Amino acid sequence: MEITASHPLALPVGVTLDRYIMNRQTAFPYATGELSQLLRDIALAGKIIHREVNRAGLIDLTGGMGIQNVQGESQQKLDMIANIRFCRALKNGGEACAIISEEDEDIIFTGNNQGKYVVAIDPLDGSSNIDVNVSIGTIFSIYRRVTPIGSEPSLADFLQGGRRQVAAGYILYGSSTILVYTTGHSANGFTYDSSLGEFILSHPDIHSPANGQIYSCNDGNVDSYEQGIQNYLTDCRSKQYTARYIGSLVGDFHRNLLKGGIYLYPPTKKNPDGKLRLLYEAFPLAFLAEKAGCLASSGHQSVLDIRPTSLHQRTPLYIGSPVMVEKLVGLLQ
Ligand code: AFP
């Protein structure tokens, strides 16, 4: 058989996430291999969630549990499953000594007190989209612990501040599943090839456009936004920008990251401090966004400069193309 240059066999499969992590290990600030293993554990849990999400409608995994999580939001079956899968993967891995999750009120101690890292995670974000086959995601944030290795981890390990993250990223379960992460250098995306069971480097060194024409917010809340934001949105409409909002932060963020745009979740009457959670939504996306050339603001300061004071703290979030974020922030009181 003659293999021409365009034949599928002539094309390389690409760099797998495992190989990429291994190659990059020396670039990590703490290159002992434990952070690499932690990232692999997260990727493994992501593969399992990918499988569960894709067969959710077939094996009765859609719908609610009939209970609420710590945020007072109704908990979906897949929320619970994703939480269990991620916590188990992190506990079994051994590198994480503690976890915080959107689904649990308190710190989850893994029992691995020799572990150097703590992980903040939103196991399944956008869960109201599960039953209707719209994109959902996982968001993760990793810190090197500040408490002594061998001791019991504490709140202080999680309240270090966004700039102390050593790695952060998300997995988007969309038209394809993609894992995007940074260890503080570049932001890279790996698309999941389910036939190989591997994440393959598909979006190396992501650089987001400096400006964009997409704005993403919940239009139903606009009346309770402060005047500066309403003025910004009026300006977007007058320029015939495109409104896109699916109510899944990971999906909305990812689209705007690649295409150029801004995601807004301002304070509202219902959520005067904003709706999104600082430690496992805003911090990781802000960390990643900055590495890809975007900005993330709470309206008054860079998200990464917010001093965290509690595990489930909320923040307003304006994140995306720097020209758009700067313009919006300039209009705020
Ligand atoms: P859920 O995981 O409870 O669905 O929350 C999703 C989310 O935190 C974020 O992903 C969305 O951008 C935002 O809420 C959507 O909120 P609204 O429905 O208030 O617009």
Q: What is the pLDDT of residue 9?
A: 65
Q: Lowest-confidence range among 12-26, 70-84, 159-173?
A: 70-84
Ligand 1 atom closest to 217 (CA) = 20
| Residues 301-326: tens digit of each pLDDT | 999 999 999 999 999 999 999 999 99
- Would you place residue 25 in the very low, low, confident or very high pLDDT band (cuts 50, 70, 90)? confident
Distance from Cα 147 to the centre of ligand 1, integer Å: 33
Q: What is the pLDDT of residue 11?
A: 58
Minimal-distance CA residue to ligand 1 atom 17: 247
**Does 94 contact ligand 1 (Cβ within 6 A)?**
no
Residue 93: pLDDT over 60: yes
| Residues 248-262: tens digit of each pLDDT | 999 999 999 999 999
Q: What is the pLDDT of residue 327?
A: 98
Ligand 1 atom closest to 281 (CA) = 8
Report pTM. 0.92
Q: Which phi-psi region, left, alpha or beta, contains residue 299 (left: φ > 0; alpha: ψ -120 to 50)?
A: left
Distance from Cα 248 to the centre of ligand 1, integer Å: 6
Q: What is the pLDDT of residue 322?
A: 98
| Residues 262-274: tens digit of each pLDDT | 999 999 999 999 9
143 close to 157: Cβ distance less than 8 angstroms:
yes
Q: What is the pLDDT of residue 194?
A: 93
Nearest to 275 by CA among 225, 206, 325: 225
- Would you place residue 61 in the very low, low, confident or very high pLDDT band (cuts 50, 70, 90)? low
Q: Which of 74, 275, 279, 315 for mutating ligand 1's site (highest number of atoms within 8 Å of CB)? A: 275
Minimal-distance CA residue to ligand 1 atom 2: 126
> How many degrees, rounded to 5, is the angle at CA 319 between CA 317 and CA 323?
130
